[in-house]
Amino acid sequence: MKGAGRLEGGTFGSIQEVREGLGRVGYVADERIAGVVYLARRLGKPVLVEGPAGTGKTQLAKSVAEMAESRLIRLQCYEGLDEAKALYEWDYRKQLLRIQAEPSAPSWRALEADIFSEDFLLTRPLLEAIRSDEPVVLLVDEIDRVEPETEALLLEVLSEYQVSIPELGTIRATRVPMVLLTSNNTRELSEALKRRCLYLHVDYPGLERERDIVLRRVPGIAEELADQVARIVRSLRSLELRKPPSVAETLDWARTLVILGIESVDAASAADTLHVLLKYRQDIERAAKELLAADA
């Protein structure tokens, strides 16, 4: 059984230090994002990061791990996720082989103590993060995709940084992992979960921040082209699209323009490459119509 958890150091001396650290690994954070990350680390509390799909929520967790030189452990949530895939399960095949390999017939108590030991335990992401002896950032991605019953499995981990295993006892973290949970807000999360977390809403970036993201993440792009990309994407998000372009798609589009040697975007060149930015035919047609009308 492990001892009480403690929060290790890292590059979290101030909000500005966090913001600069994220910038060094390619994540353009504003004061609000850096402030929540700073407080989460200093308070030892998880962060619930909500917002539309494609706004950089998952990338934030990856960048925090890179900035802090910590291992990233990711639990990708999906409908049907259960305790065996999130926390731990027993290696039943190995247990059966151990029982069959016993030459004599030991007492059940002795056999049970043997097969329900560390040697037969399969750790999953949550338990792996708790047991880690190295700095860890735990990413629980798209928590809103699991059922409320599965969401409840997280409460002990998030509040006490521990996991209870009936056969082994309670395993507590010696290093408190930094935990980020992401949600696309497809369903309402429980009050119990929210109460245990700091909250951060990440929306589509503003014009200047998205331009800075493009400049930071797209090698060789000119500042003027990055500004045009950010302005066009911002205007397209104001349309009633089935799927507005994400930040990742903005970057793909900017890289496409650089590869094609386009130095300045006009309506025609934008319309010709909208399939990189938008993923539904009706969205592409609507966006092309708006772009051509604005250029007329």
Do 74 and 175 lie in one domain? The reply is yes
Do 83 and 21 lie in one domain? The reply is yes
Residue at a domain's end among 160, 184, 201: 201
Residue 131: helix, strand or coil by DSSP?
helix
Residue at a domain's end among 162, 186, 201: 201
Res. 230: pLDDT tops 60: yes
Residue at a domain's end among 152, 176, 201: 201
Do 141 and 168 lie in one domain? The reply is yes
Do 153 and 81 lie in one domain? The reply is yes
Between CA 125 and CA 131, with CA 128 as vertex, the angle to 5 degrees is: 155
CA–CA distances in Å: residue 295 to residues 54, 249, 265, 277: 28, 23, 11, 19
How many Å apart are CA 177 and CA 131, to the nearest integer? 10
pLDDT at residue 100, rounded to an integer: 75
Q: Which of 106-110, 171-175, 176-180, 194-198 has the lowest mean pLDDT?
A: 106-110
Domain boundaries, position 270:
207-295
Asked if residues 236 and 245 have their Cβ atoms less than 8 Å apart, the reply is yes
How many Å apart are CA 209 and CA 289, to the nearest integer? 27
Do 57 and 142 lie in one domain? The reply is yes
Q: Does residue 147 lie within any of the structural domains?
A: yes
Res. 6: pLDDT tops 90: no
Q: Does residue 61 lie within any of the structural domains?
A: yes
pTM across the whole model: 0.85
**Number of domains present in the structure of the chain:** 2
Do 153 and 238 lie in one domain? The reply is no
**To the nearest 10°, the Cα dihedral for 163, 129, 127, 151?**
70
Mean pLDDT of 290-295: 81
Q: Does residue 108 lie within any of the structural domains?
A: no
Do 73 and 219 lie in one domain? The reply is no
Give pairs for 18-22: CB < 8 Å, separation 24+. Answer: 18/67, 21/67, 21/68, 22/63, 22/64, 22/67
Do 256 and 240 lie in one domain? The reply is yes
pLDDT tens sequence across 72-99: 999 999 999 988 899 989 888 888 887 7
Q: Does residue 142 lie within any of the structural domains?
A: yes
Do 144 and 184 lie in one domain? The reply is yes
Do 180 and 254 lie in one domain? The reply is no
Q: Using the structure block, give the residue that is written with the tokens 């929540």.
A: 36
Mean pLDDT of 228-233: 96
pLDDT at residue 7, rounded to an integer: 42
- Exposure pattern of 63-75 as b/e (b: 16+ CB <10 Å)? bbbbbbebebbeb
- List the CATH number of the domain containing 187: 3.40.50.300
Phi-psi category of residue 148: left, alpha or beta, with phi > 0 → left and psi -120 to 50 → alpha = alpha
Do 197 and 255 lie in one domain? The reply is no
pLDDT at residue 9, rounded to an integer: 46
Do 222 and 256 lie in one domain? The reply is yes
Asked if residues 237 and 244 have their Cβ atoms less than 8 Å apart, the reply is yes
Res. 48: pLDDT tops 70: yes
Q: Does residue 264 lie within any of the structural domains?
A: yes
pLDDT at residue 281, rounded to an integer: 94
pLDDT at residue 107, rounded to an integer: 65
pLDDT at residue 10, rounded to an integer: 52
